[in-house]
Amino acid sequence: MKRISYAILILLVLQSCAQENESQPNIIVIFADDAGYADFSLNGNKQIQTPNIDAIATNGVKFMNAYVSGPVCSPSRAGLLTGRYQQRFGHEYNIGGNFTNTDPDSIGLAVGEKTIADYLKNDGYRTALIGKWHLGEKPQFHPNQRGFDEFFGMLKGSSAYTSGKAKNIERNGVPVEAMSLPYLTDAFGDEAVNFIESKGEKPFFLFLSFNAPHTPMHARDDYLAEARGQFETESRAINAAMTRSLDENVGKVMQALREQGLEENTLVIFTNDNGGAMPYNASDNSPFSGTKGTFLEGGIHIPFVAQWPGKIEKGSSYNAPIITLDILPTVLSAAGGQVPNNLDGVDFMPYLGQSSNVPHEELFWRLGHHGAVRKGDWKLIWFDDMPPRLHNLSSDIAEQIDLSREEPELTQAMLESYHQWESELIRPVWRTDTIWKAHSRKRYDQSFVNSLSRN
């Protein structure tokens, strides 16, 4: 009798686990790199068509006021993967130009921080990162040590794309022969499809972190040949061809989900790591001012779409501000996991379809010498050595009218709120060269930005 009872108990436990896995959705987060807000047809571009990315919005929701937590690559990724303002653990500056006496072993995503992959792995998911890491190159920062079962991509912030030229790609710590790789965006798309097709008993989490259209500007020859003649400059044609490759590989992923019968039980999010790096990659941040590296909308306001059949209304839109910090708690809630109470992000799912409450009363940003706070339609940009700027985004999305003098009380209140948030942060673990201050300050002058040729 005892043997029979034990057998029944084991059977019930296995059935319970199976039911739990069936109810847990697969999760895919797709990240573009340095793309311009206006470089997608879902945002009105008539020349660059992105039908596969657009289709995610058609089948789900388009967030009209989505932000990243940092205006440059590495801090933005640190915020997304932890669900916390990255300045709380000192990851304020970009990786790739450390000019302080900081211990090199500390330059990376703080080992005390748990990542989205750590949490989901603990909740029974198999996890993969394909593409760009840019969160530390030392062994302790390696993706395989940060919750990802599988890693195929690059530790650094950029790579050549051309077939045979991508020499810093690895698979789980083992270098991949460059000559074995196709055009890099295609390689990442193919690898993502292979991961989706390698079905297992567990649900999966895939962070597909494309580096397109980040520099260097390398396009497929066939796509570039078709793009030439449609754009004013060669660089703009290259950007269009690179974006086409990005979109087509998003399409590969979505097709793989359909072919494997997984689309109905998969939450898919597509977004971008910061504003377009114009003029370096010929991106277009219209209708916003500024570029990557600033806290104008052109530096931090990003395309953000998501689909989850049966959970997210098709063809819907959401207007209240959200931030990429919200991805982690949203995903954990979807997976049925415990959401930590030390996060700055929130689960955005309960807010969709209603407007009485908003996910965030305020959003904050800081990168060394400048920062910002958004509250409702108002946004204040703080500088360490000059007066702040105050803009009303509802009437001035291009942030060309400074209302700080007309609204002194509001300006002071928002400054106080910003400095209160600042008081909760720690000193940056490392700093980059001071040349970046002058670089970004120039880009707060839109007449200067407009003078930059996309070539």
Rounded CA-CA distance 318/352 in Å is: 7
Write out pLDDT tens, residues 246-304.
Answer: 999 999 999 999 999 999 999 999 999 999 999 999 999 999 999 999 999 999 999 99
Q: Break the chain into its structural domains and give their ranges.
A: 25-361
Instruction: Judge whether 245 and 219 are in contact, CB under 8 Å.
Output: yes
| DSSP H or E segment with residue 391 | strand 389-392
Q: Pick the residue with more confidence: 99 or 400?
A: 400
Say if residues 188 and 208 touch (Cβ distance below 8 Å): yes
pLDDT band at 433 (very low <50, low <70, confident <90, very high): confident
Q: Rounded CA gap, 236 and 267, in Å? A: 32
Name the class of domain 25-361: alpha beta
Percent of the chain with pLDDT over 90: 88
**Angle made by CA atoms 252, 34, 185, in degrees to the nearest 5:** 30
Cα–Cα distance for residue pair 113/119, rounded to 1 Å: 11
What integer pLDDT is reported at residue 20 of this predicted model?
Answer: 43
pLDDT at 15 over 70: no
Q: What is the pLDDT of residue 100?
A: 73
pLDDT band at 18 (very low <50, low <70, confident <90, very high): very low
Cα-flanking dihedrals φ and ψ of residue 390, to 5°? -125, 130
SS3 332: helix
| pLDDT single digits (tens) 24-64 | 999 999 999 999 999 999 999 999 999 999 999 999 999 99
pLDDT in tens, 205-238: 999 999 999 999 999 999 999 999 899 899 999 9
What would the DSSP string read from start to end of 270-321? Answer: EEESSS--TTTT----TTS---TTSSSHHHHEE-EEEE-TTTS-TTEEE-S-
